[in-house]
Chain A
Amino acid sequence: MEPETAASALIDRLVKAGDPYAALGAYAHAGAMARSELEPVILATPRLRLIVASAPYAPPDLLDRLSRGASAPLALRLVKNPATPTTALGRLLRGGPDDRLRRYIAAHPQADAAILSRLAKDGSVEVRRTVSGNAHAPAAVIARLAAEDDAQIARNAAAAPQANAPTLRHLWNADDVWVRAEVAAHPNCPPDILAEAEAATDPLIRRKRAANPAIAEAALLNLLADPDERVRAAAVRNPAVSGDCLDEAGDPSARVRRLFARRSRLSSSLMERLTTDPDVWVRRWIARNPDLPRALLGQLAADPETEVRRSVARNPACPPDLLVALATDPQPWVRAGVALREDAPDTAIARLTGDEDRDVLGALGRNPRTPAAQLDVIARHPDKDVRRSVAFNRAAPPGVLGHLAEDPYPLNRAILAGHRGLALPLVERLLDDPEPQVRFAAATRLARALLTHDQEWSS
């Protein structure tokens, strides 16, 4: 069948079936003409319109269309839906919504500067508070709101990503310890305030300052020696800290050493020290560190703690010979860590093929390097969670996927329907599945292949 004919046949079929879920799945990939045919199916009843308005997977264009002349219940669902586009929010705002709706619009992730600027002048303090908490609120809006004498607005404004230096200075002067702590953590915090925060007696302010990514390296080094371990921990976590700044002797607090172990560019002596740390969490973290040399990884691969060995198996720098060795680890969770790796050598995969543990099988099922015969066994496993793993495998052969299309567990069929390797006739068959989520996924997949002519999806 010619692509145009096949696309047209799909739309005809969906319209004839009158199935709103399948029609909704196809809508996002359909052209203007096809959409006009699908809309009466998707929006056939008031109940369906309410369902679509609150569905985060609904295409933004459809939500925009619903916002035109929306009733109050429909408008409420639209403003609560994170997928509702800016245009629809603007339209609903112009319709003079009540306090509650304006609050939802003020909190909406798609609300743009124009909408937020307008709502920042709203008569309701609740609406203005919500604007101050919206991460997209522009600097001018935050500045205007920060001038208000309202504790909640002040806290929100101090944490607002766009808050500028003058606003932060104004907030610092308000002398509220929580607001000051947020100001000290803000990347736009003026240097003189950061200096003032250094002397703060309240450890909360020092801790927040230590988390500030814009803080100078010298100041961070001071914070690494702070008497409060929570302050030192925040400083170690700061992305501006380089691993080579950390004390080679470690830190008396295990909690801080755990954070040491997560940093890159650690000195070799510090890495060695952390590898033999008595705290198991330190060893777990360092075993995941991709900078760790082969010898230390080998040492940790023999650690008595299962989770440490698992961390080695998941370390991207783990060499092939260690992966082969870990593939026969007595603990299945370690073997599962190897089975998950797409770079595992064939010998390691071969050693895992007889494994019966469901975490190992689930990991092998996902791994594109697992042989087809093994995938076939996994796709027929009695555990539905194990079988489902094959539906995530981009290299699973069509025969194995075909078997999964008959899976009795609906979620497995729904996930499979989106697989690029599933033959289109089988996807078409799933359009008649009793489960709406399967029909939705099948229609999405077919529409992508037939309506967008995307070759990758048309196999």
Chain B
Amino acid sequence: MAELLVIAGQREGELRPSSLEAIAAARGVKQAGDTLAVVLIAADPQALVGALSVEGVDEVIAIKASDDFQPDLTEAVITALVAARKPALIATAHGVDAWSFAPAAAVKLGCGLATDVQALRLEDGALVATRAGYAEKVLVDLDFPGKATVLLTIRTNVFEPAAGSGAPKVTAMAAPAADIATTHEGWKPPADAGGIDIPGSEFILSIGRGVGDESNVEQFLELAGGMGATLGCSRPIADNGWLPKARQVGQSGQLAANCKLYIAMGVSRSVQHQWGMKHVENIVAVNTDPEASIFSIARYGIVGDMFEIAEELQNHF
């Protein structure tokens, strides 16, 4: 019998959808007799219990505190729960919140740690986590010999969010004392993107320097519209003012977080751009240069002129 813990996240009192993905990851390794508890820190945790009452969740641990994310408090909560319950697994969504408490908590408590985990399984009863290595070129299986507790941050948009109804018991827990070293200055929502949603789009057609000139951009907007895709772009296109910055994919742009199909046309070797889309399962690259580095991360590659390919595609939509 083991206890599995999931640290849920909320923003301004609303449950982060990635919390349900972390629950799904933990549920996948839950065995008969194990218990799965979800930890929630919020100003009104009771209001979010319903959203967390999904299949497989046995308990919601509700901690009343400010809605403002506080990494030191989260670390103190983990410390208290590890001492009290000795969980075999602590899972939380991979992201900026987790970065600020998970590694510190793992080091402090001597837990096993794996970040950005994409898959999770049990082998002979032992936990094995899969994550990418060497800039996503290889997948690495990690085990944690000798570790009583393993802390994992779960990559978002990999696990199907946990669903189904459950009836967890709700346990109130007092917020433990924490040495608070950070202050919350306020929540700044992302800039208005004028209806352009790169992170939320499942299908993105993206253009790079190969488009050549502003006058050529319009036809790709038209093509994307016809195909039901969102048009994205690499940094130089947005820097030139040819497309809004809200369409920029990459390190200084946005992450194609929910994308399932990404067509990259005339995007060659920008590491910055690849940062924002290399995780997408289906990448189709179109480039005249057969050595363009985009082909190294693409599932399908077309060596050809992006304008000719676009014209052919237009004939089908």
Contacts and interface: CB of A to CB of B under 8 A. Distances in A.
A129 to B, nearest CB: 13
A332 B194 contact: yes
Interface in B258-317: 269, 272, 289-291, 311, 314-315
A80 B291 contact: yes
B252 interface: yes
Given A56-B269, A392-B239, A359 B215 contact: no
Nearest to B222: A281
A362 B252 contact: no
B210 interface: no
Contacts of B149: none
A340 B252 contact: no
Interface stretch (B32-40, B113-121, B241-249): B241-249
Find the residue from A307, A314, A336, A383 having the highest chain B CB count within 10 A.
A314
B245 A385 contact: yes
A178 interface: no
A332 B195 CA distance: 13
Interface of A: 56, 80-82, 107, 207, 230, 233, 237, 255, 258, 281, 284-285, 288, 307, 311, 314, 331-333, 336, 339-340, 358-359, 362-363, 366, 383-385, 388-389, 392, 409, 411
Contacts of B244: 333, 336, 359
B238 interface: yes
Question: Main SS of chain A's interface residues?
Answer: helix
Interface of B: 191, 194, 214-215, 218, 221-222, 225, 238-241, 244-245, 248, 252-253, 269, 272, 289-291, 311, 314-315
A82 B290 CA distance: 10
Contact of B241 (A82, A288, A340): A340
A385 B289 contact: no
Contacts of A255: 314
B214 to A, nearest CB: 7
Contact of B252 (A237, A288, A409): A409
Given A288-B215, A362-B245, A385 B239 contact: yes
A385 B238 contact: yes
Contact of A288 (B218, B239, B248): B218
Contacts of B225: 281
Contact of A385 (B194, B248, B291): B248
B218 A285 contact: yes
B194 A230 contact: no
B245 A82 contact: no
Given A362-B238, A383-B191, 6 more contacts: A81-B291, A281-B222, A285-B218, A288-B215, A339-B241, A362-B245
B277 to A, nearest CB: 18
Interface centre among B194, B240, B241 (most CB of A within 10 A): B241
A281 B291 CA distance: 35
A17 to B, nearest CB: 24
Contact of A411 (B218, B240, B252, B269): B252
Contacts of B215: 288
Contacts of B214: 314
A285 B253 CA distance: 28
Nearest to A359: B244
Nearest to A384: B252
Given A314-B214, A366-B241, A358 B289 contact: no
15 contacts: A81-B291, A207-B315, A258-B222, A281-B222, A288-B218, A307-B221, A339-B241, A359-B244, A362-B238, A366-B240, A383-B191, A385-B252, A385-B253, A411-B252, A411-B272
Given A56-B269, A314-B214, A358-B191, A363 B315 contact: no
A285 B252 CA distance: 30
